[in-house]
Amino acid sequence: MLQAGRGSWYNTRMKAEIISIGTELLLGHVVNTNAAYLAGKLACLGVDLYHQSTVGDNPRRLSESIRTALGRSDLVILTGGLGPTVDDITAATVAKATGRPLVLNHSALNGIRSFFKSRKMRISAGNERQAYIPQLARPIRNRLGTAPGIIIEIRDKSIICLPGPPRELCPMFEEGVAPYIAKRFGRLDLLVTRTIKTVGMPEAGVNRAVRDLLELPPPTTVGIYAKLREVHLVIMAKAATRKLALRSIAGIEKKIRRRLGGIIFGYDDDTLEGAVGAILIKKKMTIAVAESCTGGLISSRLTDVSGSSKYFIRGAVPYSNDVKVKYVGVSRDSLKKYGAVSRQVALELARGIRTVMDVDIGLGVTGIAGPDGGTAKKPVGLVYVALAKEGGSVVKEFRFSGSRQDVKWHSSQAALDMIRRNI
């Protein structure tokens, strides 16, 4: 959950709203990536987004949403419903809601005709209907599709309609909408963010350490996000210039670093696997992994990083006991006495893969990912992670919850964090 300070400062800002249109969104058949994209872009432009809603292909409900949005927001962005079929209702509904008839826009029609001509395709009547937009509205060019965007100004407010396909919407926003917002609403304060990423401490612990900072009032606030075995702190600052915003962020970031110290693994776009890779390169160390319950996930994440061939030598997935013995060197006595999911076997996996591959670091993981296979003594979610290197070995027991995929991901996070902390 995001927590951020609040204050009356926000009430003087330009307010925006996003309405996503499509029954397929309501039913969960399509993930609404457009809303996330637009929210991020509006934030970067200094526009405050207060509301988001999703409406099916129903003219009455869409009209209600448009009227509600215009009553509380300065900028309303609609996505979807601009296609050539009968369930594409956006243009007609917006026209009715704003009291403006649909009229043929020749600029829009020429753009649609050019799209078909360049592809040597015949234009249909349905596609020609896409050139009808509300009276006094202006079209937004669509280079990658047939549906033009629409800009409608109603006194001091604006409605912007964009097509649903992201490959069309994104360039249209960059090329047509962002410049329009800047021109229409004048200079807005920039929003600059700084994300501090932590691992190894639950959200409640991080929250306690920085609680006072989470209550800071605007224009510089701090939010907290709980991820899968990560906690991110996002510092957000609004200012007239990027330099001023960064200055506000710097002091808060310094306090967070001082309080959280070693659990911080990166910033902004950094990943845990990237942080581990950077350390391995810096120390000129190599690694090999023997992972059972994670099924190659740790190796996959390590090799997601460009340049990982400098440190990653091999990943093995010794799922069966015979493979553990034959290829990694796990003792049959250990398997018989302690079981495949045990502290001893995790250590032997780490030491064995290190010896076999002649690397600086060996990592071993074994556990019960579920949903079957658990017992009262060894429940689903029990995982052991071990690391072997010159000078000694370390092994740790974890108890994870969630789905099979959750347990595998948590295990990979714990393993990567163990590498980071021990080298």
Asked if residue 406 and residue 285 are part of one domain, the reply reads yes
CA pair distance 126, 123, nearest whole angstrom? 8
Tell me: do 199 and 176 sit in the same domain: no
Integer Cα distance of 260 and 264 in angstroms: 7
- Rounded to whole angstroms, how far apart are CA atoms 43 and 13? 12
CATH number at residue 245: 3.30.70.2860
Is residue 399 situated within a structural domain?
A: yes
Residues 57 and 167 in one domain: yes
CATH number at residue 391: 3.90.950.20
Q: Is 132 left (phi over 0), alpha (psi -120 to 50) or beta?
A: beta
C-beta neighbour count of 65 within 10 angstroms:
23
Q: What is the CATH number of the domain that holds 142?
A: 3.40.980.10
Q: Is residue 246 included in any domain, yes or no? A: yes
Tell me if 198 sits within 8 A of 266, measured CB to CB. no
Cα-atom radius of gyration of the chain, to the nearest Å?
27
Give CA–CA dist 382/400, Å, rounded: 6
pLDDT at 412: 98
- Domain shared by 89 and 231, yes or no: no
Q: Give domain status of residue 34, yes or no.
A: yes
Is pTM beyond 0.85? Reply is: no
Same domain, 258 and 231: yes
Q: How far is CA 276 from the centre of its chain?
A: 20
Beta strands in 308-391 (DSSP E): 312-316, 361-367, 382-389
pLDDT confidence of residue 2: 34
Overall domain count for the chain: 3
Last residue of a domain, one of 185, 200, 222: 185
Domain membership of residue 20 (yes or no) is yes
The three-point CA angle 149-150-155 to 5° equals 155
Phi/psi of residue 250, each to 5°? -55, -45
Q: Taking a C-beta distance cutoff of 8 angstroms, is the pair 43, 191 a contact?
A: yes
**Considering 235, 267, 299, which residue would you say is the last residue of a domain?**
267
Which stretches of 261-331 are DSSP H helices?
272-283, 297-303, 321-323
Closest listed residue to residue 256, CA positions, set 279, 224, 217, 230: 224
- CA angle, residues 160, 76, 107, in degrees to nearest 5: 10
What does the block give as tokens for 415?
A: 């393993």
Same domain, 50 and 108: yes
Q: What is the pLDDT of residue 11?
A: 35
Of the candidates 251, 262, 250, the residue with the CA atom closest to the CA atom of residue 417: 262
Domain endpoint, select from 267, 285, 309: 267
Residue 179 lies in a domain: yes
Residue 8 lies in a domain: no
| 254 lies in the same domain as 285 | no
Same domain, yes or no: 156 and 215: no
5 part of a folded domain: no
Q: Are residues 263 and 278 in the same domain?
A: no
Burial 301-328 (b: 16+ CB within 10 A, else e): bbeebeebeebbbebbbbeebeebbeeb
Cβ-contact 362, 351 below 8 angstroms: yes
Residues 394-403 pLDDT 10s = 999 999 999 9
Same domain for 63 and 180, yes or no, is: yes
388 in Cβ contact with 354 (< 8 Å): yes
Distance from C-alpha of 371 to C-alpha of 368, rounded to nearest angstrom: 8
Specify the pLDDT at position 4.
35
Q: Which amino acid is at 186?
A: G
Q: What is the pLDDT of residue 327?
A: 96
Q: At what angle do helices 59-72 and 90-98 cross, to 10 degrees?
A: 50
Assess if residue 6 is contained within a domain: no
| Helix boundaries (H) for 227-386 | 242-260, 272-283, 297-303, 321-323, 332-338, 343-357
Instruction: Single out the residue of 181, 222, 186 nearest to residue 16, CA to CA.
Output: 181
Q: Residues 328, 232: one domain?
A: no
Domain enclosing residue 247, as ranges: 190-267
CB atoms within 10 A of CB 337: 11
Among residues 395, 342, 387, which one has the least CA distance to residue 366? Answer: 342
Q: Are residues 162 and 103 in the same domain?
A: yes
Query: What are the residue ranges in the chain where pLDDT is below 50?
Result: 1-12
